[in-house]
């Protein structure tokens, strides 16, 4: 272990030299090395683990459910008394009663005290929002389900004590925040919002202009100050101790800022990810890092590094491309993108999702869909009750940045309008996603088939509120126990697909994947297990008309017995054609069980 410990020290020093080149001198960097290693929980060589390179820390059974801590609540009759049960306890109850056999991990969105952005403007990183519960509630969920936790590392709340100390120019945080001058060249800065980049703040030292990538309540940290880095390593250690198995690095692409540059994806940002990876994997080697980078596809892929940055990256191009496929009835763009995606090396994988607490980002579809096609998609979503969020480009133009709509309503029809295939189209979308290379993430409101929450948009004034409904537990149970309700049908159908997926070796996140060429109306791909013992052909009719697929086009091996895992029936080898109803998916396997 001594050699591993020495190697860790050398690696950490190298990371710091890259990050702080021109900022810190060699002696300052050397002094930080032991501090970082100690803060991550490695006090001696005996505490230091050797991280196995290119090890897959996941398998086909891994399914992550994304939820807020209070997506489901139990209200008392008199609301002034608050919730009958702390929401985190209610969440655990829901998981045990309705999701126990289908979920391996739970991503609880920021569960800390906050001032805005539904949790992503953190006031205090060290405590649980008391309206949700406490650390014991988090630990109980973590003990039974793998816990995925947000590390909101780019910014914090302007109401945090750190920022108040910045204003007072005294105490912890007084030098934590990034400032710039309005006279700086900031034209190239890439923004996901239309608000002013700089926030004028009167401090004890005079007027300063604080950098705010997202909103003026979300003030950006200055990682040029190593004390900020040390503080976040402390936070990481706390979350590990509370049961975190997966870290989601929120808005990580914006971490390092340089006036006169785009201030996104800078090499210092990548090096910070590598440093955090090095520290975490030597302390807790089974922990996984996922980077949240809602940016064009080519840039997103760079966060794999050389299998030394993120273990997994959000597959941000999937939601807009799959949505476009199902509302146009044409899978051409989805196929082209799939064929261009590099297979993830062992030790890395994709994090697949088609709905989340945020909207459906359109930047990851730039260069894949034309401006006209993106506009057409946005118009379609507005026809289905959705909203569009905008961003400012370098030349001051407004471009659609995000579609805000509940996924089940996004799929209520096609470009031609709403139709009778909403549920089938919604299940088809998940069947496609669940079979793909990578780990699936399913938003709780997709699992429950929750529609647009227009009232929340009106009450909050936030477009994203449309897909952040808060269920009353008793009301939800009434729906789920009624087999005729849409919510019960969605949960039942998705649970069935997930249970099948979790027992198929060919659905391992790193199993081989090839895209099939079956025309514009049939989307298909082939998965093969690492031992080559199982093949699954995933075939989906993405149109509103019944379609036929020739068995010869799929190229099934004739002397094997094939079985549709979803339909639970064998495939007749003498049949020339497979007949797929509108939005039907078949998972055709040479094994009837996993």
* Catalytically annotated residues: 250
Write out the binding residues. 117, 155, 248-250, 357-358, 464
Contacts of 574 (CB under 8 A, 6+ apart): none
Q: 401 near 366, Cβ under 8 Å?
A: no
Determine the Cα–Cα distance for residues 214 and 193; give it in Å rounded to an integer: 6
Write out the binding residues for substrate. 117, 155, 248-250, 357-358, 464
Handedness of CA 306, 147, 7, 272 (dihedral sign): positive
Determine the Cα–Cα distance for residues 85 and 419; give it in Å rounded to an integer: 40
Determine the Cα–Cα distance for residues 461 and 464; give it in Å rounded to an integer: 9
Determine the Cα–Cα distance for residues 370 and 494; give it in Å rounded to an integer: 32
Q: 166 near 158, Cβ under 8 Å?
A: no
CA atoms within 13 A on the CB side of 351: 30
DSSP string, 366-431: BTTB-HHHHHHHHHHHHHTT-EEEEEE-TTS-EEEEEEE--HHHHTSEETTEE-S-HHHHHHHHHH
Determine the Cα–Cα distance for residues 41 and 530; give it in Å rounded to an integer: 36
Query: Regarding beta strands 72-75 and 471-472, do their DSSP bridges make them parallel or antiparallel, or are they unpaired?
Result: parallel
If DSSP codes are grouped into helix, strand and coil, which group holds residue 457? Answer: helix
Determine the Cα–Cα distance for residues 119 and 97; give it in Å rounded to an integer: 26
Q: 141 near 64, Cβ under 8 Å?
A: no
Determine the Cα–Cα distance for residues 594 and 539; give it in Å rounded to an integer: 19
Six-digit token string for 337:
């993108």
CA atoms within 13 A on the CB side of 530: 9
Residue among 73, 105, 543, 581 at smallest CA distance from 353: 105
Q: Is 326 exposed, middle or buried (0-12, 13-18, 19+ CB in 10 A)?
A: buried
Query: Regarding beta strands 360-361 and 349-352, do their DSSP bridges make them parallel or antiparallel, or are they unpaired?
Result: unpaired
Determine the Cα–Cα distance for residues 516 and 395; give it in Å rounded to an integer: 41
Determine the Cα–Cα distance for residues 54 and 163; give it in Å rounded to an integer: 40
Strand order in the sheet with 398-404: 360-361, 398-404, 387-392
Q: 323 near 87, Cβ under 8 Å?
A: no
Residue 197 CA: distances (Å) to CA of 120, 185, 192, 411, 572: 18, 12, 10, 35, 62
Provide Rg for the chain, Cα atoms: 24
């Amino acid at each position: 272990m001594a050699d591993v410990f020495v190697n860790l020290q050398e690696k950490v020093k190298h990371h710091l030299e890259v990050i702080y080149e021109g900022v810190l001198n060699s002696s300052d960097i050397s002094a930080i090395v032991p501090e970082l290693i100690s803060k991550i929980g490695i006090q001696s060589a005996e505490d230091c683990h050797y991280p196995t390179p290119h090890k897959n820390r996941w398998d086909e059974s891994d399914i992550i459910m994304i939820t807020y801590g209070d997506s489901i609540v139990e209200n008392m009759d008199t609301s002034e008394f608050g919730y009958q049960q702390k929401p985190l306890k209610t969440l655990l109850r829901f998981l045990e009663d309705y999701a126990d056999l289908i979920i391996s991990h739970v991503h609880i969105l920021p569960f800390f005290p906050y001032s805005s952005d539904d949790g992503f403007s953190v006031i205090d990183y060290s405590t649980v929002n008391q309206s949700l519960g406490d650390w014991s509630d988090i630990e109980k969920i973590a003990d039974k389900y793998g816990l995925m936790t947000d590390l909101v590392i780019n910014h914090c709340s302007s109401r945090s004590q750190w920022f108040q100390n910045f204003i007072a120019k005294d105490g912890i945080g007084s030098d934590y925040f990034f400032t710039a001058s309005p006279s700086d060249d900031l034209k190239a800065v890439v923004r996901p919002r239309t608000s002013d980049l700089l926030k004028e703040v009167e401090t004890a030292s005079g007027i300063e202009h604080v950098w705010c990538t997202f909103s003026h309540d979300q003030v950006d940290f200055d990682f040029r100050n190593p004390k900020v880095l040390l503080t976040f390593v402390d936070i990481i250690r706390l979350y590990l101790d509370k049961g975190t198995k997966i870290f989601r690095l929120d808005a990580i692409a914006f971490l390092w800022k340089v006036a006169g540059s785009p201030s996104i994806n800078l090499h210092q940002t990548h090096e910070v990810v590598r440093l955090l990876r090095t520290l975490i994997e030597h302390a807790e080697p089974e922990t996984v890092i996922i980077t949240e980078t809602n940016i064009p596809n080519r840039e997103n892929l760079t966060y794999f590094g050389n299998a030394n940055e993120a273990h997994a990256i959000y597959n941000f191009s999937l939601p807009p491309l799959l949505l476009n496929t199902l509302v146009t009835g044409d899978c051409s763009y989805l196929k082209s993108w799939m064929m261009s995606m590099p297979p993830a090396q062992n030790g890395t994988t994709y994090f697949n999702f088609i709905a989340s607490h945020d909207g459906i980002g359109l930047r990851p579809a730039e260069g894949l869909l034309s401006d006209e096609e993106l506009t057409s998609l946005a118009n379609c979503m507005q026809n289905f009750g959705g909203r569009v969020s905008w961003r400012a480009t370098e030349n001051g133009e407004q471009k659609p940045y995000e579609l805000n709509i509940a996924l089940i309503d996004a799929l209520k029809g096609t470009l031609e309008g709403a139709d009778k295939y909403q549920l089938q189209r919604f299940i088809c979308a998940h069947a496609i996603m669940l079979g793909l290379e990578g780990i699936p993430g399913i938003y709780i409101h997709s699992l429950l088939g929750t529609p647009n929450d227009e009232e929340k948009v009106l009450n909050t004034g936030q477009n994203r509120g449309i897909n952040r409904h808060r269920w009353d537990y008793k009301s939800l149970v009434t729906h789920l126990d009624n087999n005729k309700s849409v919510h019960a049908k969605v949960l039942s159908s998705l649970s069935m697909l997930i249970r099948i997926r979790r027992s198929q070796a060919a659905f391992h996140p790193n199993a081989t994947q090839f895209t099939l060429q079956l025309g514009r109306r049939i989307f298909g791909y082939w998965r093969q297990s690492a031992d080559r013992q199982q093949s699954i052909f995933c075939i989906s009719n993405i149109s509103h008309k019944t379609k036929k697929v020739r068995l010869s086009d799929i190229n099934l091996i004739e002397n094997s017995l094939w079985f549709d895992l979803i339909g639970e029936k064998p495939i007749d080898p003498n049949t020339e054609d497979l007949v797929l109803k509108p939005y039907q998916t078949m998972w055709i396997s040479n094994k009837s069980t996993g």
